[in-house]
Structure 1
């Protein structure tokens, strides 16, 4: 449960920070007029904050991923394994019709990998040392193909758009409901001016943000099936199935930073509604049945 709460807290952090900035600079006051809520102005402000926070995070995703994992980008391969990694990603990127991503290795005991970046032609694909040590080359090839498929599908940008829409409605509804509750408690007909209103909005954003994350996680699970199918096309279905089967042997806590766990190939949780990844057995079954999209 702790990992889920930390993951959700990371997604909400930018929104809460922007909410505080909005309050401190008095921007909230422009969303009220004649003692009532200016719904059009509030929606515009909510969209600016919601999408702004989402795309700021997306723009910083490569830098955050590198700094938090300590990933080392392979500029000049130091050994045969690194040379093979770069050559394999280049071949898959060409087949997928995208620009060559940066290829990196990060130190972690579990088998994992992730892809991130704002632009499908300037992405980052990284694998853990644990994955390289515990998988054979066919399985690693499939994992790389899965991550390249994420990039080719534009999953990072799409996830940013969905998060932006969700953020917009969380901010909007928190303020509408907050104004109603504040009026009921304080009798303030102007709305949105007292400290109670600000505290109510913060609490509502947290609660609504947690509920809204269910939508984002549902998309995240769907995109894993689609990336599995893409990985099967690029590397071969049996290689993809074998790689997933090997991943089922992961033990212990996922050491990817909370901010990028949704971008890893392995990162599910028993609480399915808040899980970024479907159970591996479901992913294998979809590949065997040919229903992964």
Structure 2
């Protein structure tokens, strides 16, 4: 399952590839002249395409999360189950403490995994969602710590910050892929050059997007530490540490087919090449930082 960052990157990648295909089919290549590539024109084109992809992904983030995860948003003015009311009250309390002027939407989705995420295009249009598995497996203090972490993401403006970073990454992805595609098209006959250029653009868009995601994930891991610190301020350091330790315990209980807990995108293994694509740091490191007061 894709969560907050994974879903954002997936939509962003699809948008970039789609824009690349459409512009190639329409012959939008004003950056190519008789003398070669006009790098200034290409950079402008890349920035427009790159930030369009990121902004579209941000705008769709809350809608896509609800659809992909099957989130049932709690109506604050309607009848509620006691668990729903407790969840809503806790998120609202933490949000007020974080200084949010507009309360986030709060939702639950059915899943046995222990997971929670926050998303949305702005602080005033945000969503905090938790899995039914999290509510079943965690005690109240751990749930409070998890919710504080997610509210901290909203208060820190992490989705907007990630969008700006992704826009820059997208710009370089589009810029470099067009240069590589142009070079590749120079090595074939003139009559097939447009086809080679078209195919090469798609291939290099995907390749550079994968490499760019490593940068985005490194930034995401840094923001997770900040959200942990923010969660500790909102709910209390002990609750935040307890929440992370509860997640560690869940990691040990999951069956052999589930090597990771989806909550916070936790990996059961530390480091390694795949660690470069992890959106969240190792749990031991996160707990150690909180205990050290960093």
For structure 1, list consecutive stretches of 5 or more residues without a partner in the other structure. 257-263
SS at match of 2:121: coil
The 3 A distance-change label for structure 1 pair 274 and 61 is: same
SS at match of 2:114: coil
Counterparts of 2:264 and 2:148 in 1: how far apart (Å)?
11
Counterparts of 2:79 and 2:94 in 1: how far apart (Å)?
18
Counterparts of 1:13 and 1:269 in 2: how far apart (Å)?
29
Matched, 1:172 2:175: yes
1:253, CA displacement in angstroms?
6.5
Alpha-carbon displacement from aligned partner over 1:204-225 (angstroms, at most 9, x marks no partner): 2222111111100001111111
The 3 A distance-change label for structure 1 pair 267 and 49 is: farther
Partner of 1:81: 83
Partner of 1:215: 215
- Selected match of 1:107 from 106, 110, 114: 110
Counterparts of 2:53 and 2:268 in 1: how far apart (Å)?
26
Counterparts of 1:176 and 1:244 in 2: how far apart (Å)?
45
Partner of 2:158: 155
Partner of 1:17: 18
Alignment of 1:1-293 (within 5 A): 11-28=12-29, 30-75=30-75, 76-98=78-100, 99-183=102-186, 185-186=187-188, 194-248=194-248, 249-250=250-251, 251=254, 252=258, 265-268=264-267, 270=269, 271-291=274-294
SS at match of 1:277: coil
1:44, CA displacement in angstroms?
1.0
1:173, CA displacement in angstroms?
0.6
For structure 2, list consecutive stretches of 5 or more residues without a partner in the other structure. none
Counterparts of 1:156 and 1:269 in 2: how far apart (Å)?
25
The 3 A distance-change label for structure 1 pair 255 and 24 is: farther
Aligned length: 276
Maintained 8 Å contact 1:110/1:254: no
1:77, CA displacement in angstroms?
4.9
Alpha-carbon displacement from aligned partner over 1:223-252 (angstroms, at most 9, x marks no partner): 111000000000011111111111121432
Counterparts of 2:14 and 2:114 in 1: how far apart (Å)?
28
Counterparts of 2:90 and 2:172 in 1: how far apart (Å)?
42
Q: TM-score, normalised by structure 1?
A: 0.88
The 3 A distance-change label for structure 1 pair 50 and 268 is: farther
Q: Which range moves more in the overlay, 241-250 or 264-273?
A: 264-273
The 3 A distance-change label for structure 1 pair 234 and 219 is: same
Q: TM-score, normalised by structure 2?
A: 0.88
Q: Which range moves more in the overlay, 206-215 or 245-254?
A: 245-254
The 3 A distance-change label for structure 1 pair 269 and 84 is: same
The 3 A distance-change label for structure 1 pair 255 and 17 is: farther
